[in-house]
Amino acid sequence: MNQTDDLHQALLDWVHISMRRTMHEFTSWMNRSSLSNSQLGALMRLYYHGDCPISNIGDNLGITAAAASQMVDRLVQKGLLQRDEDPDDRRVKRVTLTNKGKTLVQEGVEARLKWLRDLETALPKAKHGDIITSLSTLTEIAKELEETYSEAEKGSLEG
């Protein structure tokens, strides 16, 4: 093997184990939550982007407004969401995470990050500087690629 092949394999190995561990922990949390993927998707959307009309939940999840409304009803009954009239348009219903809903999502985020905290603890302190430098370089280049991909995707939609 040459250095390019070694780098490729090292990146594949890292992506494989990091995805497997984060998804395993997150999936375990999802199963414990006893919520559907759509319900969890709605909670995550609200957690990261704030309150919104019910129709936005449906658009985000690719489900009908009626299905989104029924799902929101179930989450309101569980005490995870609060539904209110939009102050600017009483016909529009806005949904917000309750404290119980925020706590549930935070548990999911923490479950996903637990293995990373364990990894940080297990890394030898003498290697921290090298690891920080390497990961910073990797992240910087990945962000540049992401911008390039985003511009290309935007261009393909316009063209």
Query: Mean pLDDT score of the chain, rounded to an integer?
Result: 90
Task: From 117, 115, 119, select the one nearest 28 (Cα to Cα).
Answer: 115
d(C-alpha 78, C-alpha 80), whole Å: 6
d(C-alpha 122, C-alpha 6), whole Å: 24
pLDDT level of residue 1 (50, 70, 90 thresholds)? low
For residue 8, what pLDDT is reported?
A: 92
For residue 142, what pLDDT is reported?
A: 92
For residue 65, what pLDDT is reported?
A: 87
- The three-class DSSP label of residue 152 is helix
Lowest mean pLDDT among 84-88, 97-101, 118-122: 84-88
For residue 23, what pLDDT is reported?
A: 86
Over residues 96-124, mean pLDDT? 93
For residue 22, what pLDDT is reported?
A: 84
Q: Is the pLDDT of residue 57 over 80?
A: yes
DSSP secondary structure letter of residue 110: H
Tokens of 20: 């497997």
